[in-house]
Amino acid sequence: MIGRALGGGLTNDGHEVIILSRHPERVVALPPGMRVERWDAHTLGDWGSLVDGADAIVNLAGENIAGGRWTRERKRRICESRLNAGRVVVQAIESTTRRPRVLIQASGVGYYGPCGDNDATEDSPAGKDSLAQLAVEWESSTSAVEALGVRRVTIRTGVVLSDQGGALPRMLLPFRLFLGGRLGNGKQWFPWIHVVDEVGAIRFLIDNEVASGPFNLTAPNPVTNADFSHMVGQQLGRPAFIPTPAFLLRLLFGEMATILLDGQRAIPRRLMEAGCTFRFTDAASALNDILA
């Protein structure tokens, strides 16, 4: 979802974009200037030569962490998919004669772990739970490129709001069935960002030649889960008073329930200090843009 939106904007501005995919046959209806190459996400293969002379690499690779219950096998796949991809990206850059100017390395606000009502800024320490430790390892997987002289930016992304995929369409289903409401007590923070601003922030960080290190990619005004649920209900004209108990979420999703029940009040402090602007700073306007 993020890669397609980012690539579309880049090609509209005359850039050539190459998408790496495990299933290129599923990547259809690409705009002019964008093409897809096969990659198994754990070996270098033939695509490494494409890095030579490229201006930027955006590494978004990794199995969807919210795709199902976290069994031991699924947690292994989630971790290995990220670490293997990062390792191969480093190998690709090492093999070049003209290295890219910048590597954008994906991560998530889960890096901070459960924070309660405290602000999570880029200076906040990593959490201790398994999701936080995964984010730490994921970010570190490409750190070696800095010694090669490549500027590296780590993007700690919140929940990206879009009608083209991601979490929002699945969140809307209970509301459409008149079963919507908060998750758990609803007091947990919901760090969101509109896909337009996600793409805008990535492009800003590609172009800003002094930007490096971690950046929170979230809207400036996080909301609680209860408030967000109320806004969704208002936008859809549906009630939002049927809560999903925390114990049921843990029963259904296991350890993955921490994503739903332990949010972060993530603030994009470094983005704002660098001068990046947002089109959607409040959740109500973002939902209205997507769902109206």
Q: What is the pLDDT of residues 71-85, one digit of tens each?
A: 888 888 989 999 999
- DSSP secondary structure letters along 194-261: EHHHHHHHHHHHHH-TT--EEEEES-SS-EEHHHHHHHHHHHHT------B-HHHHHHHHGGGGHHHH
Does 187 fall in a domain?
A: no
On whether the CB atoms of residues 139 and 121 are closer than 8 A, the answer is no
Distance CA 246, CA 37 (A): 42
Quick one: what percent of the chain has pLDDT higher than 70?
100
Does 30 fall in a domain?
A: yes
Position 259 confidence tier, pLDDT thresholds 50, 70, 90: confident
Per-residue pLDDT, 26: 87
Sheet holding 102-108, edge to edge: 56-59, 102-108, 151-157, 213-217
Does 20 fall in a domain?
A: yes
Residues sharing a CB contact under 8 Å with residue 98, sequence separation 6 or more, in sequence order: 52, 53
Does 248 fall in a domain?
A: no
Does 110 fall in a domain?
A: yes
Residue 201: pLDDT over 90: yes
Paired residues of 266 in beta bridges = 120
Residue 252: pLDDT over 80: no
Question: Count of CB atoms within 10 A of residue 225's CB?
Answer: 21
Place of tokens 């293969």: 45
Does 27 fall in a domain?
A: yes
Residue 40: pLDDT over 90: no
Q: Report the CATH number at residue 40.
A: 3.40.50.720
Per-residue pLDDT, 91: 94
Distance CA 282, CA 149 (A): 38
Place of tokens 């296991």: 254
Q: Give 141-167 pLDDT, tens digit per residue.
A: 999 999 999 999 999 999 999 999 888
Helix/strand/coil (H, E, C) string of 142-174? CHHHHHHCCEEEEEEECEEECCCCCCHHHHHHH
Question: Count of CB atoms within 10 A of residue 67's CB?
Answer: 11
Least Cα distance to 205 among 271, 150, 249 occurs for 271
Residue 68: pLDDT over 80: no
On whether the CB atoms of residues 191 and 266 are closer than 8 A, the answer is yes
Does 243 fall in a domain?
A: no
**What is the arithmetic mean of pLDDT over 41-58?**
88
Task: Give the range of the structural domain holding residue 16, as residue numbers without chain letter.
Answer: 2-164+192-220+264-278
Does 239 fall in a domain?
A: no
Q: Give 7-36 pLDDT, tens digit per residue.
A: 999 999 999 999 999 888 988 888 888 999
Distances, alpha carbon 134 to alpha carbons 7, 17, 75, 79, 114, in Å:
27, 29, 10, 7, 14
- Work out how many domains the chain is built from and give that number: 1
